[in-house]
């Protein structure tokens, strides 16, 4: 799952961290791993304050876990091991608790419930949710493999390693699938509200709350409204005291809502910046938010109004 662009985390740097970490675990030199850690932690993310969405907070915990592991690799003590195990357990329980308190429906719930109902009593006795229990199952499988290994055996070069990695990968993919589901559903139907009055503010609200939010904005405020920001069918509205505009992204093309055939450009001021805009695409101030309230059904909006390709 991609990280937010503003974090500045290079996927290649993260991939190198994982590769170099695995190399250290196999007995390789820590020099490349140290360079990989330095490259990753140079990202803007590590020098800024952020307010992450749920899925993003999970990504931050995963990054923190990898950096914690980075500190411990090579001379991992018993305390280090316990600390890393605790992070994995707490993260799984965090996901279960969030899912239990969320109205968002994530695919695969019936399958997870069946697995939990059939799991061994030794794991079910803890009373945890699916991911908390599944994490304990993977943890127990790894622990049993270590105890069963012959003296002097190197698990990292054996077929047992491949089996354990497969179990861990399957668990990780389930985690990622649920997080992708949350990320996709939490961004749909959400309006990013930006205001300049004169200082800049931004927030995210459900489309259903838009009328209340817009009604509370002081008259004369410059406002930007983006429904499903970053999606390939986003709708962008600007509202100024004298006019509003509506732009729809469809089939990788931007279209402006048009109410007259006047295609001549005129200079307008949006959020303090001068831009040119077709006169026929300047709407009454109230029209932009009204159209956005209808835009949960993109096809209906597309058919109801006249749209012209943005020049």
Q: What is the pLDDT of residue 79?
A: 87
pLDDT by residue for the chain (311 residues), tens digit each? 677 777 888 888 888 887 887 777 666 777 888 888 888 888 888 887 777 777 788 888 888 887 887 777 667 788 888 888 998 999 999 999 988 876 566 778 899 999 999 999 999 999 999 999 999 999 999 999 888 888 877 776 678 888 998 999 999 999 988 888 777 666 678 899 999 988 888 888 889 889 998 998 998 899 999 999 888 899 999 999 999 999 999 999 999 999 999 999 999 999 989 999 999 999 999 999 999 999 999 999 999 999 999 98
Give the distance from CA 191 to its chain's centroid.
16
Rounded Cα distance, 229 and 191, in Å:
7
Rounded Cα distance, 100 and 82, in Å:
27
Rounded Cα distance, 233 and 222, in Å:
24
The domain ranges of the chain are 5-187, 190-309
- Cα torsion through 31, 83, 161, 141, rounded to 10: 180
Token couple for 25: 């675990």
**CA-closest candidate to residue 140, choices 130, 128, 151, 148:** 148
Element (H, E) at 192: strand 190-196
Query: For the chain, how are helix, strand and coil distributed in percent, rounded to 5?
Result: 55, 20, 30
Q: What is the pLDDT of residue 230?
A: 82
Q: For residue 278, what is the DSSP state? A: E
**CA-closest candidate to residue 89, choices 21, 54, 22, 138:** 138
Token couple for 144: 């049993």
Q: What is the pLDDT of residue 161?
A: 86
Nearest-5° Cα angle at 272, 271 to 274: 105
pTM for the whole structure:
0.58
Residue 306 phi, psi (nearest 5):
-95, 130
> Are 239 and 284 a contacting pair, CB within 8 Å?
no
């Amino acid at each position: 799952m991609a990280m937010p662009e503003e974090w500045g985390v290079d996927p290649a740097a993260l991939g190198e961290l994982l590769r170099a970490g695995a190399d250290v675990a196999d007995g390789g030199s820590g020099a490349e791993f140290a360079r990989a850690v330095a490259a990753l932690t140079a990202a803007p993310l590590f020098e800024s304050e952020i307010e992450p969405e749920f899925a993003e907070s999970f990504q931050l915990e995963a990054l923190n876990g990898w950096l914690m592991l980075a500190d411990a690799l090579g001379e991992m003590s018993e305390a280090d091991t316990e600390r890393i195990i605790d992070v994995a357990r707490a993260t799984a329980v965090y996901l279960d608790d969030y899912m239990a308190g969320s109205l968002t429906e994530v695919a695969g719930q019936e399958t997870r419930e069946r697995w939990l109902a059939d799991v061994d009593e030794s794991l079910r006795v803890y009373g945890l949710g699916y991911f908390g229990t599944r994490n304990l199952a993977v943890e127990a499988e790894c622990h049993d493999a270590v105890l069963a290994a012959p003296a002097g055996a190197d698990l990292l070069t054996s077929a047992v390693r491949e089996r354990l990695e497969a179990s861990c990968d399957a668990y990780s993919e389930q985690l990622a699938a649920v997080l992708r589901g949350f990320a996709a559903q939490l961004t749909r139907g959400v309006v990013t509200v930006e205001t300049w009055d004169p200082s800049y503010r931004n927030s995210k609200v459900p489309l259903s709350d838009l009328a209340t939010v817009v009604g509370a904005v002081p008259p004369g405020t410059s406002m930007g409204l983006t429904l499903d920001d970053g999606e390939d069918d986003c709708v962008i509205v600007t509202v100024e005291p004298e006019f509003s505009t509506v732009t729809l992204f469809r089939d990788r093309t931007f279209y402006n809502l048009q109410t007259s055939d006047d295609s001549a450009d005129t200079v307008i001021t949006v959020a303090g910046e001068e831009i040119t805009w077709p006169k026929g695409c300047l709407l009454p101030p109230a029209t932009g938010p009204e159209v956005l309230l209808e835009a949960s059904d993109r096809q209906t909006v597309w058919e109801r109004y006249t749209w012209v390709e943005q020049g």
